[in-house]
Structure 1
């Protein structure tokens, strides 16, 4: 079983679309896939989050969102602003390990950049990858400054003992869509949005219990 952490050099670089592209390719090969979003920020209750987008594009049904905060801030700051407890990274580790026992691939999508903090102890998605001994796929922006941002991100990964799997930018999603790997699904379709939202909510409830 394989765990792949999808991290980014920052917000808005296309982590969800790349996560969906990787998931769609695995599903096309008849692999069981699970997707975990440890923290969703900048989205209100009842609105579609990143796991919903991944599910619509890829057809993956097993998705979990462990925390949701309305402010578009790094997870720890967003939790503090909302007066909510931060995401438990130990709970995230436990969930991913459990999922890896029954799924061929577990994708863990990060929030914001590699070093955005998830809790008051300063835990990051890089720390999560190291604990899980997972490889990291870094998603980067194709715009100006990418070389510097990517180099800093890879340096931070190496410093923390995490293993980079490679780098991708949003062009990978365009190629995947052109091949038909990414699918836009209506909520009523099999594997559509509704089951993923229910699974995500179950994940949030379990994490906060």
Structure 2
């Protein structure tokens, strides 16, 4: 069947606009809602006209408005993949970590730095300095949540972990720099300083960034 006959089936001229084509198709479909065969004929005519307009568009003879529906489109492009959901930190981790202010970081850092300096000038005082550091950690931790018992557990655990970790650090330093202990007047003093500094650093991290 020629394109001219398709236009006649919709009651249109060949110079009909796209809006007129769609309006005629909708009107005839509604008028023949009880006649499936007639509806199929209307749809076939409508699709044939649009396919002809598509061909003409591809040849540059006409310009087809954006959004016009063609009967036989290529496969629809898959919908854009939704971004992967960002994994949120588990509730226990959120409850454990703190977002400290600048003062919450600098005040403990200043105090622990002073204690580290005292250790450097007088290594035998390391035990007393670590005891003072635990009290400092207790003060700042208990001030955040008002839970003294929890602050005690966290501070003592940090002290224990710091001492164990510093022992590993001391062993690594001695294995990598064996001449350091030989050159020092008191290798024990160097070990005490390193042990105290590492433990103070861990206590500062816990005090500043844990609740």
Q: Which structure shows the bigger proportion of residues in helix conformation?
A: 2
Q: What band does the TM-score fall into relative to the shorter chain?
A: under 0.3
- Bigger fraction of residues in strand: 1
- TM-score where L is the length of structure 1: 0.21
Normalised by the size of structure 2, how large is the TM-score? 0.21
Bigger Cα Rg: 2
Q: Which has the higher contact order (CA 8 A, sep 6+)?
A: 1
